[in-house]
Chains A and B, each alone.
Chain A
């Protein structure tokens, strides 16, 4: 039991060491060297994908049947696929969906999850119990199953899968944010706001949310990596993005057949790009998570 009177100088002391820790931390920076490399790579991929019409050397859907399955040439640096489409162009266009799809999944999951978490943390009691129970149920079902259920109901399409996966990712965000929000809720500054007569929503959005925001961002970025893999897997199974649209998951699948015909470039290139994106996102997520933790 530490009552306020006895902790008086313990507080002062903790403050002193906090100051020193702050000095030490600024020398490291938030992302670190590897984090910065990952962020740089991801930025390049995202920019290339965003400006695909400009950057891509060919129309990704134009079939040059005469040059199908050519190896790397000067005209086609990564060669062409079975239909003679330029693999590099398809990679660049495919990265669009591979980034945008999971991005949308995480955006929806983060907004819904954060709102649920804040509601649970502020109201507590039965509402908290009910929300926690709902999250536990969602947790028990693997994410990809939601995607498959959505496909079974509304038929295969990107939007269907995104919605299904978004539901699956809600508990991943909500559970972490709820824990952080509960911690903040018990801080004296929240009690101070309550004693000022600030309303519940007012305290939640002006006091608690800004303080859990670094954790929300870190958790969202960390989950993004998993969403990339899940969405690529669904496309690989042929249940997400439909051909002929360029998508990395689809390219791995169509590249599979070419491997048997001695041309592994498509599968390798698409697979590598997925791995690279996931690596970048995971590294950034890790760095953001540890920096969000050390801020407390």
Chain B
């Protein structure tokens, strides 16, 4: 438990980068009388240099929370602050949007549709660098920095001239991560960022994410349905079910000894040595 105490101690000295309180998202339903509540009263804090995972099954609202944080979804209710500045009402001006981009970045699940097929890899990253480099940077500076970032995610100069369709899924996801790093953000939201990848590629990307954290200060908000992956990458986790937070705590502790019935059910359903599939509702029939 000393690890936990230590963590609590560091937390009191640090201000959270992201503070979300009472997030709620309601979509108009198919008929007028029944709206769909996608997210209901979700609160969390993300501290500097930590990885917080949001875990849940489909329909749990975990992706909606992530999209609300970056402004891809509006909030029905609640408050999101990044470094003390409210983001609840969305960006009005381009300058705000650009400043926010330099604080929070986003990596999508599908590395195929999240890259512009008509742009070269070098240009994809350079576009992002150029937007955040400031007016004094020359084209040459931007280009050099883009190549440097590509190199840091394990793609050498040859890749800069390639188009996304010439790359494998893992290499594309590296480009997407490079594009996020180009904005020099304090937070990267990873929305199922390794879910579409093969096991062998998944391991490489998880290692890359760990390497990035070792070399610079950055926090991850890691959205995933995969408990094994979450166990590997995150320190803390939140479990969501049908739009609500049902469980949260230190990842290792929560997975080693789950108390909440939903967390237990999730944990029990993960295939592992000696595991057998179990029928959930034998009685239902």
Contact = CB atoms under 8 A, between A and B. Distances in A.
A3 B127 contact: no
Central interface residue in B62, B108, B110, B195, by most chain A CB within 10 Å: B110
Given A3-B59, A210-B118, A198 B224 contact: no
Nearest to B97: A197
A188 B113 contact: yes
B123 to A, nearest CB: 9
B72 to A, nearest CB: 6
A70 B195 CA distance: 78
A194 B179 CA distance: 13
A49 B97 CA distance: 53
Given A4-B109, A11-B196, A187-B113, A196 B63 contact: no
Interface in B70-117: 70-72, 94, 97-102, 105-106, 108-110, 112-117
A4 B179 contact: no
Interface residues of B, number: 47
Given A192-B179, A196-B183, A8 B109 contact: yes
A5 B169 contact: no
Contact of A5 (B94, B97, B225): B225
B116 A9 contact: no
A11 B112 contact: yes
B58 A5 contact: yes
B57 interface: yes
Nearest to B191: A4
A211 B225 contact: no
Contacts of B105: 195
A3 to B, nearest CB: 4
B196 A3 contact: no
A196 B117 contact: no
Contacts of B192: 4-5, 8
Given A11-B109, A189-B116, A5 B224 contact: yes
Contact of A191 (B72, B98, B117, B179): B72
A80 to B, nearest CB: 53
Central interface residue in B116, B127, B179, by most chain A CB within 10 Å: B116
Nearest to A197: B98
B128 interface: yes
Contacts of A1: 58-59
B227 interface: no
Contacts of A140: none
B37 interface: no
A174 B196 CA distance: 36
A294 interface: no
Interface string A220-254: 00000000000000000000000000000000000
A15 B165 CA distance: 10
Range for the number of chain A residues in contact with chain B: 20 to 34
B63 A189 contact: no
A6 B192 CA distance: 10
B62 A189 contact: no
B116 A211 contact: yes
B208 interface: no
A207 interface: yes
Nearest to B104: A195
Central interface residue in A9, A11, A188, A196, by most chain B CB within 10 Å: A196
Interface in A1-30: 1-9, 11-12, 15, 18, 22
A11 B195 CA distance: 9
Interface string B193-219: 001111000000000000000000000
A226 to B, nearest CB: 29
A206 interface: yes
Given A5-B57, A188-B113, A197 B131 contact: yes
Contacts of B115: 189, 192
Contacts of B131: 196-198
Given A5-B62, A192-B179, A211-B116, 18 more contacts: A4-B63, A4-B192, A5-B57, A5-B63, A6-B225, A7-B109, A11-B109, A12-B196, A188-B108, A192-B108, A192-B114, A195-B101, A196-B128, A196-B183, A197-B97, A207-B116, A207-B119, A210-B116
Interface of A: 1-9, 11-12, 15, 18, 22, 187-189, 191-199, 206-207, 210-211, 213
